[in-house]
Amino acid sequence: MESVIERIDKGLFWKFHGGIHPPQMKFLTSDKPILQLPLPEKLVIPIQQHIGEAGEVIVNVGDDVVKGQPLTRSTLPISVPIHAPTSGKITAIENATIAHPSGLEELCIKLIPDGKDTWCERTICPEYQQLSKAEIIEKICNAGISGMGGAGFPTHIKVGTTAQINYLIINASECEPYITADDLLIKEHSSAILDGINILDHLLEPAFILIGIEDNKPEAIKALQNATQGIDKIKVCVLPTQYPVGGEKQLIMALTGTEVPSGVLPTSLGIVMQNIATCFAIADAVIHDTPLIKRVVTVSGQALEKPQNVWALLGTPVEFLLNECGYPQQEKKHIIMGGPMMGFSLPNNQVPIVKTTNCILAPSEAEIPNDNQEVECIRCGQCAEVCPSQLLPQELQWSAKAKDHQQLDTLNLFDCIECGACAYVCPSHIPLVHYYRVAKAEIRQQQLLDLKAEKAKVRFEARKLRLEREKLAREAKHKKAAEARKARMNSGTPEANNEKSAVAAALARVKAKKAQASAEPTNSANPSDDASSEKKSQVAAAIARAKAKKLAAKDNNSIAEKPPAEINPVIIDEKIEEKQTLDPAEAKKAKIAAAIEKAKAKKLTTEAKSSTSSEIKTETVTAPSPADAKKAKIAAAVAKAKAKKQQAEQKKEIQLSANEDITSSIKDEPIAEAVTDKKARIAAAVAKAKAKKQQTESK
Partner 1 sequence: MTDYLLLLVGTVLVNNFVLVKFLGLCPFMGVSSKTETAIGMSYATTFVMTLASLLSYLVKTYVLSPLGLDYLTTMTFILVIAVVVQFTEMVVHKTSANLYRSLGIFLPLITTNCAVLGVALLNMYEQHNFLESIIYGFSAALGFSLVLIMFSAMREKLANADVPTPFKGSAIAMITAGLMSLAFMGFTGLVKF
Partner 2 sequence: MSIIIAILVIGVIGLFFGALLGFASIKFKVEGDPLAEQLDALLPQTQCGQCGYPGCKPYAEAVANGEAINKCAPGGDDTIKKIADLMGVEVQPLDGNHETDNTPKVAFIIEEDCIGCTKCIQACPVDAIIGATKQMHTVIIDECTGCDLCVAPCPVDCIEMRPINQTTRNWQWDLNSIPVVQLDATSQEKEV
Distance in angstroms (rounded) separating the CA atoms of residues 264 and 381:
28
Query: Is 98 near partner 2 (CB under 8 A)?
Result: yes
Among 7, 133, 288, 334, binds partner 2 (CB under 8 A): 334
- Total of chain residues touching partner 2, rule CB under 8 A: 54
- What is the smallest separation between the CB atom of 478 and partner 1, expressed in angstroms? 44
Distance in angstroms (rounded) separating the CA atoms of residues 572 and 570:
6
- What is the smallest separation between the CB atom of 618 and partner 2, expressed in angstroms? 31
User: Quick one: 398 or 414, whose CB is closer to partner 1?
Assistant: 398
DSSP-based three-state secondary structure for 99: coil
Query: Is 620 near partner 2 (CB under 8 A)?
Result: no
Query: Is 14 near partner 1 (CB under 8 A)?
Result: no
Query: Is 377 near partner 1 (CB under 8 A)?
Result: yes
User: Quick one: 103 or 326, whose CB is closer to partner 2?
Assistant: 103
Among 228, 274, 290, 399, binds partner 1 (CB under 8 A): 399
Residue 230 interacts with, from partner 1, partner 2, none (CB under 5-8 Å by kind): none
273 in the Ramachandran plot: left (φ > 0), alpha (ψ -120 to 50) or beta? Answer: beta
Residue 376 interacts with, from partner 1, partner 2, none (CB under 5-8 Å by kind): partner 1
Among 188, 259, 404, 697, binds partner 1 (CB under 8 A): 404
Q: By the 8 A CB rule, do 297 and 361 touch? A: no
For the chain, helix (H) and strand (E) counts, in that order, are: 21, 16
- What is the smallest separation between the CB atom of 446 and partner 1, expressed in angstroms? 18
Part in contact with partner 1 (CB under 8 A); list of ranges 150-158, 208-216, 331-339, 402-410? 402-410
Part in contact with partner 1 (CB under 8 A); list of ranges 243-251, 399-407, 444-452, 499-507? 399-407
Q: Which of 143, 106, 77 is nearest to 355 (CA)?
A: 143
Q: How far is CA 386 from the centre of its chain?
A: 37
Query: Is 367 near partner 2 (CB under 8 A)?
Result: yes
Q: How far is CA 19 from the centre of its chain?
A: 38
Query: Is 491 near partner 2 (CB under 8 A)?
Result: no
Residue 423 interacts with, from partner 2, partner 1, none (CB under 5-8 Å by kind): partner 2
Sign of CA dihedral 329, 331, 334, 340: negative
Residue 101 interacts with, from partner 1, partner 2, none (CB under 5-8 Å by kind): partner 2
DSSP state of 303: T
Query: Read out DSSP for 192-248?
Result: HHHHHHHHHHHHH--SEEEEEEETT-HHHHHHHHHHTTT-SSEEEEEEPP-BTTTSH
Question: How many CA atoms lie less than 13 Å away from 410 in the CB half-sphere?
Answer: 6
User: Quick one: 151 or 441, whose CB is closer to partner 2?
Assistant: 441
Among 407, 412, 657, 696, binds partner 1 (CB under 8 A): 407
Query: Is 428 near partner 1 (CB under 8 A)?
Result: no
Query: Is 677 near partner 1 (CB under 8 A)?
Result: no
Task: Name the pairing type of β-strands 234-239 and 208-214.
Answer: parallel
Distance in angstroms (rounded) separating the CA atoms of residues 499 and 487:
13
Among 232, 331, 371, 376, binds partner 1 (CB under 8 A): 376
Q: By the 8 A CB rule, do 46 and 106 touch? A: yes
Distance in angstroms (rounded) separating the CA atoms of residues 635 and 665:
10
Query: Is 441 near partner 2 (CB under 8 A)?
Result: yes
Query: Is 398 near partner 1 (CB under 8 A)?
Result: yes
Residue 306 interacts with, from partner 2, partner 1, none (CB under 5-8 Å by kind): none
Query: Is 402 near partner 1 (CB under 8 A)?
Result: yes
In the chain, the largest separation of any two C-alpha atoms, in whole Å, equals: 123
449 φ, ψ (degrees, to nearest 5): -65, -40
Q: By the 8 A CB rule, do 288 and 128 touch? A: no
Q: CB 299: neighbour CB atoms within 10 A?
A: 28
Among 347, 623, 669, 697, binds partner 2 (CB under 8 A): 347
The residues of the shown chain that bind partner 2, judged by CB under 8 A, are: 22-23, 25, 98, 100-104, 106, 177, 302, 334, 336, 340-341, 343-345, 347, 363-364, 366-370, 372, 420, 423-424, 431, 433-434, 437-438, 441-442, 445, 448-449, 452-457, 459-460, 462-463, 526-528
Binding site for partner 1 (CB under 8 A): 376-377, 398-399, 401-402, 404, 407
